[in-house]
């Protein structure tokens, strides 16, 4: 029972990291995309240029709208994924949870590697790299003889 608690606790740490980053990114989204309080003149010029570049004119969608949408979507997806993972940690049987931890470890690790090579933005790299390590720790949590560590 102690091993199962360790697995669930480590898995919740990974889910919590995702939720924490969702909230932090949502606050940053407000500061940098919605609020005009902290915008300097040079940044205002860039924003106006992006607003002037139409993507779907009939819908009123500009390049700025697309950038704002992707920023908000990033926060929402982190929140949705983190919430789903938190619920899995609470409700899933331990063998299936360990397998989810391995899969998330591999997928998030691959995502971090691709992000690091393609678009090395520190916030995204930190989010993916840390959650990769946390899922790895969950997958390697102590287990009883009837609970294999490797998926299979």
Domain extents in the chain: 2-139
For 37-92, write each residue's pLDDT tens digit.
778 899 999 999 999 999 999 999 999 999 999 999 999 999 999 999 999 999 99
Distances in Å between the Cα of 38 and the Cα atoms of 32, 42, 43, 47 are: 8, 12, 10, 13
Crossing angle (nearest 10°) for helices 63-91 and 2-29: 160
Residue 152 has pLDDT above 80, yes or no: no
Between CA 79 and CA 26 the distance in angstroms is 10
The alpha carbons of the chain give a radius of gyration, in whole angstroms, of 19
For 116-148, write each residue's pLDDT tens digit.
999 999 999 999 999 999 999 999 988 765 555
Is residue 18 packed enough to be buried (19+ CB in 10 Å), middle (13-18) or exposed (0-12)? buried
Q: Which pLDDT belongs to residue 61? A: 96
């Amino acid at each position: 029972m102690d091993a199962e608690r360790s697995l669930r606790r480590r898995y919740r740490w990974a889910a919590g990291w995702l939720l924490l980053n969702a909230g932090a990114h949502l606050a940053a989204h407000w500061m940098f995309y919605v609020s005009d309080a902290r915008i300097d003149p040079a940044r205002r010029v860039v924003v106006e240029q992006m607003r002037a570049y139409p993507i779907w004119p009939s819908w009123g969608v500009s390049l700025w709208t697309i950038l704002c949408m992707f920023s908000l979507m990033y926060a929402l997806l982190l929140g949705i994924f983190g919430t789903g993972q938190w619920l899995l940690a609470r409700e899933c049987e331990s063998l299936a949870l360990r397998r989810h931890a391995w899969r998330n470890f591999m997928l998030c690790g691959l995502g971090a590697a691709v992000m690091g090579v393609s678009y090395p933005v520190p916030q995204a790299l930190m989010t993916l790299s840390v959650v990769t390590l946390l899922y790895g720790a969950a997958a390697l949590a102590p287990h009883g003889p009837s609970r294999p560590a490797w998926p299979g």
